[in-house]
Structure 1
């Protein structure tokens, strides 16, 4: 039911206003902002060296076409086990709508969940919830400009589940009912989805799309559509769209999972072989984006925008990757973008940088158009300098090219990325394969498999020359088909350039002479002074958890859980008590920013830029943090780079850097966002919630310019050194693909030698408490006709595994009931989220949060509906079928989570930090099996106290319906 985040062009263009790189990695076919093309699936075929040879298809994929034109892509994959990922892919999206259907491609998607031949009304959702598939999180769909995709992940461990799932796919393909009553009911849900997207980004997009897509139907076919069409939707136009485009020759089934492909193929033929298209098939057109000889410029300001940005788009025909030569070209593109992005990042680290962030990318725009883009997030009043800077860097490459050393680093980085993907070829998630094969159907690009890709990358990358990469920029950056999109806060309008000033910047760049790029690269070792190793002084095991524990000679505790979930993944977290609670209120700002400030300075002998170059090809990270009650290190990486991970961890303690230039650069980067932060209704609302729930405590303040100004570099550095100056009370947890024997010499060399003074300290309770009683607060901010409501029930509790599970179960149950009530029955909201948690430190307390969006005039009545559902739960009106749905969904989630390294790291660390026995994790399944309606009733009575909650409502500044 989602249009973003998988909507290609909406994702692509949303970043214009947000100041982020437009081309998200998930939608870039060639080169992303900082990475490489996502390598395809597993086992491939032997490589061929003929450049014109077509890229082969992965033999592990069973692909075919039925006589009626329906295509299918099937693969066996056991991660996760006893699951299959199903997709129905329709090669039709909003760009194919007729004038009276604007928004009905997306509305059609909604209606397929509201009545089909086999499943009436909401029965699809209800059935899938009963087998553990959660609506929204698992079961979903999205509509883009060019396609509609239905997402159905299902378990396969019980008879009939797979067959019934194919019943659903078949009904989606040709069994929709479009009942008039259901259409009327769904209008409200779709309108609320439209409403939820309103804001500065949408208003800027609406100004820019007519220019960016000038002369194309894309300019007027945004998938969410027009509210007047949605309000008046009837079955007729919906059925016409469904009849025209949901036909066998325009659809595909993708199925990947723990199932024999032969069985999947039989089901495809059984369910889709008899489908027939309409008697008169409507041709599926390719919608073009017309070329433009002269530059198109769009400039949009908005009172709620938080930062200025400038994006230059160069339109190109689709660069489809179908031959070996195409594949090589895509690798060259990855190298170009990697190197230019490294240069832009280096500039952004300077105190006098002309932009806060900048990036280069090439990828898919819409079906018939690719784009190369340069983008920069501008400082206040600095749009022209930011534009000049990104054009200057492109010009520098054009005139002088990249350095051989840059190409070598880029080659190393790209190759290492593919190498790691190859190492994980037997551990790839089914969802990754499915996404790939969806793209294969929609674009026609083959899926050769990671084995083929890795061999080609090994063979082709060393043959790429600097001159070849340099020449690519000249093909991407052209005088024709150029579009410039600028956005800025309205309060900065006086400094926003007009079109002549923008075009003048291009003329100046075209005639500019720039100096060559130079660099100094250190060949010094990452750790110059290697300390004498310490040793393991005690060892124990927790057999039930598969955990080994060491105590090191300096007091550090190491907890290890080896797994086989991934072939090349290690995750780590280390912590000790204290945090910012141990500094004075006067030093709080410096403590909050201490790790950010210090890490921006680099590490050991290397500044941030030097460190980035030093670590090229290394898949390892170790980032310091200082929280309210603890400080620690979070990181991980490749098993191959374990020593680098340990060295980085060591340096975080032993060799932090104080860099005044990096601190100044950081302040310069965030200042433009802070200057306009109060423009955002969402930011103002969040700040109000924070301040109110902490009763104005000085340590619970929004991140503002005032807080930034209070931070002092020297104090931040001293606080960091103090917090990480004694590791004797640190605990480190490692989870992943390693053995204790591999870790032991590394732990003795790099963790047992961390500085230790054996001081005794803990965290301090600084007295932050929520307000008592009932709080009802309204915030008026923003111009759009929408409301956001946040309800927080809270209070003291006994911290225990039983309490935590009761809150989880209550939240899951309530979210399901509220979606049924507020969305499906009342049509008052697009989504409702409910979350419950208990915390032990600094004092045991709980909270249950409920969030939803709506029309301003319905916020109060929907809250009353929430209270009615809560009261019904307290009264024990809980259907056993709903309890079973909660149990089933939690059990299915747990089955998958237990095969994830992140699950074990987070839960072992949390229990140790809360001084609990981590073996309590093994009781969780018993909690799920034992869940009853009586427990949910008791939890509602305990945790949803009508005398202890806060309700916050964000409303527009002017009254709206």
Structure 2
């Protein structure tokens, strides 16, 4: 059980930077090199369960063809009528030679540019014609030891399934790799490389080289070498393709709303003829990690806006079959690391802590490379204290061990996670399930059902002792190897000692430091606010049978909307809307400050630390948000946890708390956020973009640093406390819950108070800068520009027009994909969307955004305007309309089978906007009725070149 894939394991303190190795282009695969020297290899041609004492999920059908290709089929009903087809190639950047660095990813792109049955330029259009979105439903990724191709079909129709399998079979052995297409794709590859480039990405690459030094991983970033990318040709790509795309390295995964008995003969027919085109190649040796001594990585990167410190260790591992004993050890490792993460989290919240945030992570990468790591973001220049605190925390845990209370907390958390997996198993999402299965298979992990996982892990957790957890921690950190990192804004090059000497000294000078007492603190009971002696009275009830929704009005004006669904078994989502949100903000920037402050303060008598300990063993989540027209308490949990969720809402409303320590911690994080935003084109876009397009309207403009830093704690408290206490409530609940039960629970905690609405603040008119152009420069070493071309449209409330504006944006996006990406190779992924305002009358923005080379920015802004103008001049064909409309209809069908749609798009705020309750009845038919003439009329009205505003944020310097 490896922390990158085993489903029992949720994230511990966020992803470690070591885990970022797979995030640039893909997830992580597994590599089992042939025997060479001291290297060992598991048989990755066998199913993992064939090497294990663990039986696989009995619902999965496993198969193997005579040519060596493996496949698995799993019927899963959500989303309805959708089937995911995946071709998993167990080869990636690690299989590249020095002269091929980047070709695995290049080849992934090329398989969309011409195969045996789909000439260049036809495949994406075919996908769109049957209702598949490019990117959402058809995509691929390349990792270190895997390349995975995804097709999500909109139907389980046998003809569509057969065609989808034909596409995958073409990926497997039908690539044309035409020279002219290789040349055409080169610009897109380089544009993707630029789009993904950032200071954080460059730091991660250097960390990769540092932490995995001595192994091939450190030299095989999937994006590759620009020199190789510039020289790539059809012959080189063909060489990689023929060597590694072999049947025994291929796996077809089919998951979705289909009958495996129907799919299997189609799959066998399409993939049985596939044969290898070249002799098999031996995986290059992975290399070994140094396991002794201390190594230091120091990077002065002021553009990061903060400084991160880390303490880690790495070690070599021999690949092991995924057996019950191996799982027990990995579970113990996870528990130990989780306790350590909880300790660091408590240290972050101590008064005058040098830490702003922290992480703890441990696991195995590629079955061969073990690691454990503690990291933290520090305040200002306090990196020495932060690094010393990480070292001290680890040393104390290794020497003195954990406490029984710490172990019990993590046990409760994992038991709750297992219970949730069990209760929600019947309505798992097919695409998420398929991605997890592929990740596990490439990691040589047995595919277990939630029932099997609960049967395996629950007894292990119950029996786990403190000695086992302590022993696991010692096992992870027993090696002599130590990796020390200081990365970010701090400059260590100015002192008498070298940066390395300063960093080593920070962890060596530990004498006399006070040890933290980790004994259990006094517990605070929750819930402590009693429900009303008598339930609140319902004074009115309405039934909406067309959308299967109930509405209740209580005596104090509280409104409850309930919709029972079966989309997500045993799960509910909740939203409590109240007040006017941003419309009532007294000072610019207060809303962002308030969200962090309430999150960090905890609830009433419980500080944040106590609240987390109290909720350990549950699956409830509750978050305070400030929207443009209301405040929101958004929550989720299992259906049986609805009462606990309502108790949390009640406490937040009646006993809010605004703690000084939480205020200071939030202030520090906001300050670091501004430091980061100001040093990248993406960040500067956030800082100035909305302000430019709305002429600095307060509802849309991000407050500047000085405004936010001037906000005082008492000002936030004075703003929010009366609103929380007195604003009328609109409670919406969607999920697997009977309306009567939800009504009874809400009546126990709400509906009998004294709540009255305050007058709504006036909203000033938004002024769009039509015809204006602004160039914003950023001091950054990243060679990149963001181009945004925008047009004013209209507000949200003419829903038929809004739907057509959204489709107009999709049509423009498709034209820009063809022109700017496919023809010019100038950008990787143009983004186009319309956002119509719900609060500003007559205002909306349709915008297009491209990440491009700085010297091309202004020219491309002109091309975007020309392409947009062509929509007004030329009537698009029915075929072109359908390429945008059919994927939209498919997405709507999926969206309508989600709790989020009904909660956030229909029920929430429907007491203020009753028309929302009618929208689900017409959404599909109204979209389907859109004509080319309507799109042309909207383009003529809104997308004229003189009406556009252009913002270019560029790293280019004058």
Count of residue pairs the alignment pairs up: 926
Change over 3 Å in CA distance of 1:251–1:796 after alignment to 2: closer
Distance 2:598 2:450 in 1: 39
- Aligned pairs for 1:35-50 within 5 A: none
Distance 1:450 1:16 in 2: 26
Distance 1:118 1:628 in 2: 50
Distance 1:598 1:946 in 2: 45
CA drift of 1:519 comes to 3.1
Hey, what does 1:62 align to over in structure 2? Answer: 61
Hey, what does 2:539 align to over in structure 1? Answer: 537
Hey, what does 2:580 align to over in structure 1? Answer: 578
Distance 1:813 1:910 in 2: 30
Hey, what does 1:740 align to over in structure 2? Answer: 739
Question: Is residue 606 from structure 1 mapped to residue 606 from structure 2 by the alignment?
Answer: yes
Hey, what does 2:528 align to over in structure 1? Answer: 527
Distance 1:161 1:491 in 2: 59
Question: Is residue 566 from structure 1 mapped to residue 535 from structure 2 by the alignment?
Answer: no
Hey, what does 2:483 align to over in structure 1? Answer: 483
CA drift of 1:720 comes to 1.0
Change over 3 Å in CA distance of 1:707–1:348 after alignment to 2: farther
Tell me the secondary structure at the aligned position of residue 106 of structure 1: helix
Structure 2 contact 16–360 (Cα < 8 Å) conserved = no
Hey, what does 2:452 align to over in structure 1? Answer: 452
Hey, what does 2:665 align to over in structure 1? Answer: 665
Distance 2:156 2:868 in 1: 34
Change over 3 Å in CA distance of 1:21–1:823 after alignment to 2: closer
Structure 2 contact 565–736 (Cα < 8 Å) conserved = yes
Distance 2:465 2:954 in 1: 58
Hey, what does 1:40 align to over in structure 2? Answer: none
After superposition, the C-alpha distances for 1:523-570 in whole angstroms (9 at most, x for unaligned) are 423224443332212111011010001001111011110111111211
CA drift of 1:778 comes to 0.8
Query: Structure 2: any 5+ residue segments left out of the alignment?
Result: 31-48
Tell me the secondary structure at the aligned position of residue 761 of structure 1: coil
Tell me the secondary structure at the aligned position of residue 258 of structure 2: coil
Structure 1 contact 876–934 (Cα < 8 Å) conserved = no
Question: Is residue 328 from structure 1 mapped to residue 328 from structure 2 by the alignment?
Answer: yes
Hey, what does 1:869 align to over in structure 2? Answer: 867
Distance 2:398 2:5 in 1: 34
Distance 1:899 1:300 in 2: 47
Tell me the secondary structure at the aligned position of residue 568 of structure 2: coil
Distance 1:572 1:742 in 2: 14
Hey, what does 1:632 align to over in structure 2? Answer: 632
CA drift of 1:956 comes to 2.2
Question: Is residue 811 from structure 1 mapped to residue 809 from structure 2 by the alignment?
Answer: yes
Tell me the secondary structure at the aligned position of residue 391 of structure 2: helix
Hey, what does 2:833 align to over in structure 1? Answer: 835
Hey, what does 1:180 align to over in structure 2? Answer: 179
Hey, what does 2:43 align to over in structure 1? Answer: none
Distance 2:512 2:21 in 1: 27
Distance 2:361 2:452 in 1: 25
Q: Which moved more, 1:282-291 or 1:300-309?
A: 282-291
Distance 2:127 2:244 in 1: 26
Hey, what does 2:725 align to over in structure 1? Answer: 725
After superposition, the C-alpha distances for 1:478-502 in whole angstroms (9 at most, x for unaligned) are 3434333331126676589722232
Structure 1 contact 598–717 (Cα < 8 Å) conserved = no
CA drift of 1:257 comes to 1.4
Hey, what does 1:411 align to over in structure 2? Answer: 411
CA drift of 1:706 comes to 1.9
Change over 3 Å in CA distance of 1:226–1:510 after alignment to 2: farther
Change over 3 Å in CA distance of 1:824–1:647 after alignment to 2: same
Question: Is residue 363 from structure 1 mapped to residue 360 from structure 2 by the alignment?
Answer: no
Tell me the secondary structure at the aligned position of residue 679 of structure 1: coil
Distance 1:491 1:768 in 2: 47
- Aligned pairs for 1:180-199 within 5 A: 180-199=179-198
CA drift of 1:319 comes to 7.0
Distance 1:401 1:494 in 2: 39
Change over 3 Å in CA distance of 1:409–1:208 after alignment to 2: closer
After superposition, the C-alpha distances for 1:418-468 in whole angstroms (9 at most, x for unaligned) are 101111111111113312331343222111211111112222211001111
Change over 3 Å in CA distance of 1:883–1:311 after alignment to 2: same
Distance 1:313 1:536 in 2: 58
Change over 3 Å in CA distance of 1:130–1:589 after alignment to 2: closer
Change over 3 Å in CA distance of 1:311–1:716 after alignment to 2: same
Hey, what does 2:39 align to over in structure 1? Answer: none
Q: Which of 551, 555, 558 lines up with 2:557 in the alignment?
A: 555
- Aligned pairs for 1:829-908 within 5 A: 829-908=827-906
Q: Which of 773, 777, 792 lines up with 2:774 in the alignment?
A: 777
Tell me the secondary structure at the aligned position of residue 921 of structure 2: helix
Hey, what does 2:78 align to over in structure 1? Answer: 79
Hey, what does 2:503 align to over in structure 1? Answer: 502
Distance 1:592 1:784 in 2: 28
Change over 3 Å in CA distance of 1:798–1:605 after alignment to 2: closer
- Aligned pairs for 1:889-928 within 5 A: 889-908=887-906, 909=908, 911-928=910-927
Distance 2:124 2:12 in 1: 31
Tell me the secondary structure at the aligned position of residue 791 of structure 2: strand
Hey, what does 2:41 align to over in structure 1? Answer: none
Distance 2:13 2:367 in 1: 15
Distance 2:957 2:310 in 1: 33
Hey, what does 2:784 align to over in structure 1? Answer: 786
Change over 3 Å in CA distance of 1:633–1:324 after alignment to 2: same
With structure 2 as the length reference, what TM-score do the two structures score? 0.91
Hey, what does 2:224 align to over in structure 1? Answer: 225
Q: Which moved more, 1:403-412 or 1:361-370?
A: 361-370
Distance 2:868 2:911 in 1: 34
Hey, what does 1:424 align to over in structure 2? Answer: 424
Hey, what does 1:293 align to over in structure 2? Answer: 292
Q: Which moved more, 1:416-425 or 1:152-161?
A: 152-161
Hey, what does 1:43 align to over in structure 2? Answer: none
CA drift of 1:708 comes to 3.2
Structure 2 contact 532–748 (Cα < 8 Å) conserved = yes
Change over 3 Å in CA distance of 1:554–1:492 after alignment to 2: farther
Change over 3 Å in CA distance of 1:941–1:261 after alignment to 2: same
Change over 3 Å in CA distance of 1:14–1:284 after alignment to 2: farther
Query: Structure 1: any 5+ residue segments left out of the alignment?
Result: 31-47
Distance 2:498 2:693 in 1: 42
Change over 3 Å in CA distance of 1:700–1:248 after alignment to 2: closer
CA drift of 1:783 comes to 2.8
Q: Which moved more, 1:192-201 or 1:270-279?
A: 270-279
Hey, what does 2:147 align to over in structure 1? Answer: 148
Structure 1 contact 94–222 (Cα < 8 Å) conserved = yes
CA drift of 1:231 comes to 1.8
Q: Which of 762, 765, 768 lines up with 1:764 in the alignment?
A: 762
Change over 3 Å in CA distance of 1:570–1:151 after alignment to 2: same
Hey, what does 1:618 align to over in structure 2? Answer: 618
Tell me the secondary structure at the aligned position of residue 951 of structure 2: strand
Distance 1:286 1:21 in 2: 19
CA drift of 1:859 comes to 2.0
Distance 2:19 2:455 in 1: 37
- Aligned pairs for 1:939-954 within 5 A: 939-954=938-953
Hey, what does 1:338 align to over in structure 2? Answer: 338
CA drift of 1:89 comes to 0.9
CA drift of 1:385 comes to 1.5
Distance 1:173 1:511 in 2: 63
Distance 2:399 2:22 in 1: 26
Change over 3 Å in CA distance of 1:771–1:257 after alignment to 2: closer
Distance 1:543 1:162 in 2: 36
CA drift of 1:891 comes to 1.6
Question: Is residue 136 from structure 1 mapped to residue 135 from structure 2 by the alignment?
Answer: yes
CA drift of 1:816 comes to 1.4
Distance 1:692 1:808 in 2: 22
- Aligned pairs for 1:794-805 within 5 A: 794-796=792-794, 799-805=797-803
Hey, what does 1:38 align to over in structure 2? Answer: none
Structure 1 contact 112–176 (Cα < 8 Å) conserved = yes
Q: Which moved more, 1:334-343 or 1:79-88?
A: 334-343
Tell me the secondary structure at the aligned position of residue 593 of structure 1: helix
CA drift of 1:674 comes to 3.6
Change over 3 Å in CA distance of 1:110–1:870 after alignment to 2: same
Distance 1:193 1:264 in 2: 35
CA drift of 1:139 comes to 0.7
Hey, what does 2:254 align to over in structure 1? Answer: 255
Distance 1:795 1:812 in 2: 15
Tell me the secondary structure at the aligned position of residue 575 of structure 1: strand
Structure 1 contact 553–752 (Cα < 8 Å) conserved = yes
Tell me the secondary structure at the aligned position of residue 657 of structure 1: coil
Q: How well do the aligned residues superpose, as a CA RMSD in angstroms?
A: 3.0
